[in-house]
């Protein structure tokens, strides 16, 4: 009886989180268990939210295969066992930025646009660049990037206005036997575009989840801003 009570309490807790946040709780692979046929995940201890908006006339960071790619640069200050990345577009109407969230000026200027959104596709890449000298920005331009993971559609996230579950989520576990794919201190980038050929436009929220809290994590949309922040630390 006690086990059933605990399971019911957990389900109630998660359901309450979905209602209050307009997004499901962001849960990890780490420690995942199945209890009475129900998959139980522990929420990420540390979740960073980034509210952004892509204008129709925005210039992408890169164009590949007829698609426009945008990047968010992520600095991770210490080794971590797992990272989660998810992106939802448009930002749910009742989801508001909190005090420590990253909120772009473009997002603030376009909060009235409730209709623009895109079919998200996300990736996470790790660079071979370390912040150790004044050539950081130039080194990033010439960096080698290793793909750690990518995702198109996730059934765990809310439907878009189209009625399709086209939002994205991925969880990546550090591969300690492969240095190129281990989640260590360094510079990463989140790439995003639309799965379908066409423009990326509208509001989005990107969230980064970690199983341990790592003070000093930074997420920005350009590398010059990253350097300014890291220089100040």
> Is 118 exposed, middle or buried, given 0-12, 13-18 or 19+ CB atoms closer than 10 A?
buried
Q: What is the 3-state secondary structure (H, E, C) of 133-174?
A: CCCHHHHHHCCCEEEEEEECCCCCCCCCCCCCCCCEEEEEEC
- What structural domains and CATH numbers belong to the chain? 44-231 (2.60.120.380)
Q: For residue 183, is pLDDT > 80?
A: yes
pTM of the model: 0.87
Residue 99: pLDDT band with limits 50, 70, 90: very high
User: Residue 80 corresponds to which tokens in the numbers above?
Assistant: 């971590």
Q: What is the pLDDT of residue 11?
A: 43
Q: For residue 10, is pLDDT > 80?
A: no
Cβ contacts of 125 within 8 Å, gap of 6 or more: 145, 146, 147, 148, 188, 189, 191
Q: What is the pLDDT of residue 46?
A: 93
Question: pLDDT, tens digit, for every residue of 52-79?
Answer: 999 988 999 998 878 889 999 999 999 9
Dihedrals φ, ψ of 109, to 5°? -75, -15
* Spatial separation of the C-alpha atoms in residues 145 and 151, rounded to whole Å: 17
Q: For residue 5, is pLDDT > 80?
A: no
């Amino acid at each position: 009886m006690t086990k059933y009570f605990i399971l019911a309490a957990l389900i109630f807790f998660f359901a309450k989180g979905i209602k209050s946040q307009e997004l499901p709780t962001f849960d990890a692979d780490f420690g995942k268990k199945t209890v009475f046929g129900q998959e139980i995940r522990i929420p990420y201890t540390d979740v960073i939210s980034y509210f952004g908006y892509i204008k129709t006339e925005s210039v992408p960071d890169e164009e590949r295969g007829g698609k426009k790619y945008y990047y968010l640069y992520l600095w991770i200050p210490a080794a971590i066992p797992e990272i989660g990345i998810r992106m939802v577009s448009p930002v749910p109407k009742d989801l508001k930025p909190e005090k420590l969230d990253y909120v772009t000026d473009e997002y603030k200027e376009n909060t009235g646009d409730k209709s623009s959104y895109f079919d998200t596709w996300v990736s996470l890449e790790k660079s071979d660049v370390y912040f150790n000298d004044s050539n950081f920005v130039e080194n990033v331009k010439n960096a080698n990037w290793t793909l750690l993971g990518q995702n198109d559609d996730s059934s765990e996230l809310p439907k878009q206005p189209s009625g399709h579950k086209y939002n994205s989520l991925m969880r990546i576990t550090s591969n300690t036997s492969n240095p190129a794919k281990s989640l260590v201190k360094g510079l990463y980038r989140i790439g995003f575009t639309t799965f379908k050929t066409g423009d990326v436009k509208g509001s989005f929220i990107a969230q980064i989840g970690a199983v341990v809290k790592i003070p000093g994590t930074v997420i920005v949309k350009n590398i010059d801003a990253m350097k300014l922040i890291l220089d100040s630390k």
